[in-house]
Amino acid sequence: MKTISKLLLLVAMLPFAGIAQKTVTAESIIKSINNHQPVSLSGAQITGDLDLTKLDNMKQEQQNSSSDKVFISTVTSAVSFINCSFTGKVLGYFNPDSEKPYVKSSTVYNTNFDADVNFENCTFEKEVSFKYSVFGAKASFAKSHFNDEAFFKYAKFEQGPKFAGAMFKNDAIFKYVEFPSGFDFSNVVFESGADFKYARLMDGGSFANAEFKNGSDFKYAGFGKSVTLRGASFNGSNDFKYTTLDNQQTSLNELISK
């Protein structure tokens, strides 16, 4: 009987063993990227900080007026993460002097992407930062969960980025971003602040059914008539001062109802 009981217990455990999440280190991903190999992972847990700012091809950018030193790393092959979780930070931007206000100049590390970038239905437990990053091909963060701050300030997208169905539990920063046609924030949930100050949203795109639960900032943002906010809900403090629609002063009510 004891043998049969042990056998039944083993059989009962097999389904759980079959769905166990595999673990991949951030270091191994960086190694593949440095070897110019495409990265394609599904259902994996990524451990450690995925710091893309100091790749082997890092080069110093020439600065015309700034005293800052800017170093650019470039991801040359496609990266795809589906149903993955990231336990550490995901960094395409790093400024080690950001918390040193007495420093007159700083050293900044940035990451650009030449090929497709796909983070679909992923969970980011810690900070995500792609400040100043250039996405030269497709970029998707659809259905992903951002549990810490997400920085896309000054990011440049060559194609409309996809964030459809994503959830931002902490602040989402898209300040100064110029969004190309086809950007998609439909059904996104912003549980904390959403900062789109100075953003340019002139071409076709969507915030349909998006939920802004704790305030938004679209001050000085520019919208085009081809951008829809149909079904979007706005709660908390929302700033649409100096916001324009086709270069004419507008309001939140007008944007929602158009």
Higher pLDDT, 106 or 128: 128
Q: What is the pLDDT of residues 123-164, one digit of tens each?
A: 999 999 999 999 999 999 999 999 999 999 999 999 999 999
Place of tokens 């900044």: 108
- Give the pLDDT confidence score for residue 106 in this predicted structure: 79
Higher pLDDT, 60 or 67: 60
Averaged pLDDT, 170-183 = 98
Residue among 250, 237, 234, 143 nearest 188 (CA): 143
Rounded to whole angstroms, the Cα distance separating 51 from 38 reads: 17
* Strand locations in 105-209 (E): 107-113, 117-120, 123-124, 128-129, 134-135, 139-140, 145-146, 150-151, 156-157, 167-168, 172-173, 183-184, 189-190, 194-195, 200-201, 205-206
pLDDT in tens, 194-238: 999 999 999 999 999 999 999 999 999 999 999 999 999 999 999
* 148 CB burial (10 A radius; 0-12, 13-18, 19+): middle
Residue count (the chain): 258
Decide if pLDDT at 5 tops 80. no
pLDDT at 1 > cutoff 80: no
Using alpha carbons only, give the angle 93, 99, 105 rounded to the nearest 5 degrees: 75
pLDDT mean across residues, the chain: 90
Q: What is the pLDDT of residues 76-89, one digit of tens each?
A: 999 999 999 999 99
Three-class DSSP category at 239: strand
pLDDT of residue 9: 40
* pLDDT of residue 169 exceeding 80: yes
Examine the pLDDT at 4 and tell me if it is beyond 50: no
